[in-house]
Amino acid sequence: MKFEIAPKTTETRLNWADARLYCFALNIGGKSGWRLPSKEELNEIYESDNDFAKNFYWSSTEFNAYNAWLQLFANGYQNGNDKDSNYYVRAIRSVL
């Protein structure tokens, strides 16, 4: 992985637009540059050793104008859903 995952203590439930803003505004120990993971990055996290709950998490990847991709960490299922719905959010940031 070429990204760092924000601590579980930062996890929250928001709609998609608020999730993007929340990640962008995060500053953890002086570190900024946080963002929502893409659907591919979420799947990479799912397939790795992680501390994510078995819930749906937002990705930054849009399905269409009204929906964005989610991933269910219980089984890896991905699907597009209404951006106005509240789902879990966990930010990542790129590292070199």
- 1-51 pLDDT, tens digit per residue, is 799 999 999 999 999 999 999 999 999 999 999 999 999 999 999 999 999
Q: Which residues contact 9 (CB under 8 A, 6 or more apart)?
A: none
Query: Which conformational region is residue 18 in: left (phi greater than 0), alpha (psi within -120 to 50 degrees), or beta?
Result: alpha
Q: What is the mean pLDDT of the segment spanning 75-96?
A: 96
Q: For residue 28, what are its two tokens?
A: 């953890």
Q: What is the mean pLDDT of the segment spanning 51-78?
A: 97
3-state secondary structure of 60: strand
Q: What is the mean pLDDT of the segment spanning 77-83?
A: 96
pTM here is: 0.94
Quick check: 96 pLDDT over 80? no
Bridge partners of 70, per DSSP, are 58, 79
Q: Which residues contact 12 (CB under 8 A, 6 or more apart)?
A: 22, 88, 89
